[in-house]
Structure 1
Amino acid sequence: MRRTILRLALVLCLSPMAALAVQPDEILPDAALEARAREISKELRCLVCRNENIDESNADLARDLRLLVRERLVDGDTDPEVMAFVVDRYGEYVLLTPQTNGVNLILWLAGPAMLAAGLAIAVLSLRRRADAPDDSDSLTPEETARLQQILKD
């Protein structure tokens, strides 16, 4: 029983490491460069898997991107230079968190603006409804008689 629990604990401890798709031949010998590569990889989207970063993806293109990042770091590029190189080569879609400038600023602001407009429309329509005269007691005598006849049947 004890061995089973220890094995289960070992599997649970190692399972987060299994989620990373980085192959042993990709890992840089310099620990500092490897740490920088991992941080950059967390911000880059796998173009095949869409919502996975390139460290988590097993796709060939993700492997190519991981190797490209490491190659640029070994060549002496800074982190922003590596990111700029990858974005220039693959487009801004490769970023998991898009930049908040230029055309993207419209996209970032459109959601909150639509929410504010919807709330304003809702408040105005509720105010109009509250200010509207109550017409429920304004039946003519003929309508009242007809309503009484319908209710009796």
Structure 2
Amino acid sequence: MIRALVLLLALAAPALAPPAGAAVGDPREQLRDPAQEERAREIGRELRCLVCQNQSIEDSDADLARDLRRIVREKVAAGEPSDAVREFVHARYGDFVLLRPPVNAATIALWATPFLALGGGIVAILLSRRRGAPQPAAPLSPEERARLATLEDRPAA
């Protein structure tokens, strides 16, 4: 019964969580133009909160994320293109602030790791299949059968 309750609560947890960005941000911080606000949110979803564990600035409650949201909205309200806003934040905080960092010499290991892990797994599977099935054990000698029968308390065959 308790297991079922725990399972039910675990399955219901995502439904209880607020939608992304819903609990975060003061309505007074939002832009009046809905198109600009949506563009600012889209940019914010691509920028990592620098103090959180892999959350975008739109999903974070941190003070730094709130400051970055404010900066993004100021630049969007000023009419700057989305790429210029992202570049502004990227220039100040580096590749880490981007949830999808660019492929360059500094991030190549980050991008290559999943492929290396997949390749390693495939190689491991292929090597394990090459070994083939284990060899069957040699048949028991008559002495071994007699000893086994004694241990099992039954007559030897």
Which interval holds the TM-score relative to the shorter structure? 0.5 to 0.7
Contact persistence 2:20–2:58 (CA under 8 A)? no
- Structure 1 or 2: more helix by fraction: 1
Q: Please identify runs of 4+ aligned residues in structure 1 that moved more than 4 A.
A: 132-135, 146-152
1:21-60 CA-partner distances (Å, limit 9, x unpaired) = 1212211122221111011111112112222221222211
Picking from 30, 35, 38, the partner of 1:35 is: 38
> Residue 24 of structure 1 corresponds to which residue in structure 2?
27
Render the CA deviation track for 1:88-110: whole Å, top value 9, x for unaligned: 11121112233334432332222
Identity fraction in percent: 44
Aligned length: 137
State yes or no: 1:50 paired with 2:53.
yes
TM-score when normalising by structure 1: 0.67
Alpha-carbon contact 2:36-2:76 (below 8 Å) kept = yes
TM-score, normalised with respect to structure 2: 0.66
Give yes or no for contact 2:51–2:62 (8 Å, CA) kept in 1.
Answer: yes
Structure-1 residue corresponding to 2:117: 114
CA 1:151–1:18: 2 relative to 1, 3 Å: closer
CA distance in 2, matches of 1:151, 1:17: 66
RMSD, aligned CA? 3.0
In the alignment, the residues of structure 1 paired with residue 124 and residue 31 of structure 2 have an alpha-carbon distance, to the nearest angstrom, of 57
Return the letter of the residue paired with 1:93: F
Q: Deviations over 1:91-149 (max 9, x none)?
A: 2111223333443233222222232233223322431345x877846x9xxx99x9999
Specify every segment of 5 or more residues in structure 1 that has no aligned partner in the other structure, as ranges: 1-11
Counterpart residue type for residue 22 of structure 2: A
Aligned to 1:96: 99
